[in-house]
A and B are shown apart, each in its own frame.
Chain A
């Protein structure tokens, strides 16, 4: 079945550092890809998404590009802030598997130090 693999955390960076959180997937169909963020004590929020190859999702300075050839959707940000500290989840929705239900990576905890 479909799956999502994220880099293990925690990832610890200094403020203004460049961020990459890797996400790769396996899918039988042609999935949509998502990044969700969970701030401490809160629910998950959609951060960005991409629905077809070479699409770039972006929001709040974060970007991710749907790469079909490498089955990847890596999350990047040029200059992180302390307020970006959270857990980040990569997910996919595949119409050919699980009827569009979201399939999740394990999450990557990001810690930004001032």
Chain B
């Protein structure tokens, strides 16, 4: 059973370009979470999605950032008009059920975004 897949692993963009990060959850998992890790900091929750629905986007910046998890295909985190401050590692996690006290999330290897 393949784990959570993320691609690309490394992404370089110039300021003003768009970054598109993809996440394929583990087989049978319909819950996806996106986190951002700035250098020397812990992970910060961004958004929680189920298939075709955004459940909690309280951690996502209001502008330039969007996420989707379509019925078919991977979850996408999109950052429009990137700025240098968007440089970070972006991790995706999936779980077979929603958040709870026994919540175990399975993580992908991350996408490291560098904005020049």
CB of B2 to closest CB in A, whole Å: 12
Q: Does B96 contact A (CB under 8 A)?
A: no
Tally of contact residues, B, Cβ under 8 A: 30
Chain A residue at smallest Cβ distance from B43: A104
DSSP majority for the B interface? Answer: loop
Contacting residues of chain A (8-59) with chain B, CB-CB under 8 angstroms: 32, 36, 41-46, 49, 51
What residues on A are CB-neighbors of B40 within 8 Å? 106
Partner of B99, one of A44, A45, A100: A100
Contact, CB under 8 Å: A51 / B101: yes
Question: Once bound together, how far apart are the Cα atoms of A95 and B104, in whole Å?
Answer: 14
Q: Does B48 contact A (CB under 8 A)?
A: yes
Contact, CB under 8 Å: A93 / B109: no
Contact, CB under 8 Å: B99 / A105: no
CB of A41 to closest CB in B, whole Å: 7
Contact, CB under 8 Å: B100 / A42: no
What residues on A are CB-neighbors of B56 within 8 Å? 99, 101
Q: A32-B102, A46-B106 are in contact. List 12 more A-B contacts (CB 8 A).
A: A4-B42, A43-B6, A43-B108, A51-B102, A93-B99, A93-B103, A99-B56, A100-B101, A101-B45, A102-B103, A104-B43, A106-B41
Residue ranges of A at the interface with B (Cβ–Cβ < 8 Å): 4, 6, 32, 36, 41-46, 49, 51, 89, 91, 93, 95, 98-107
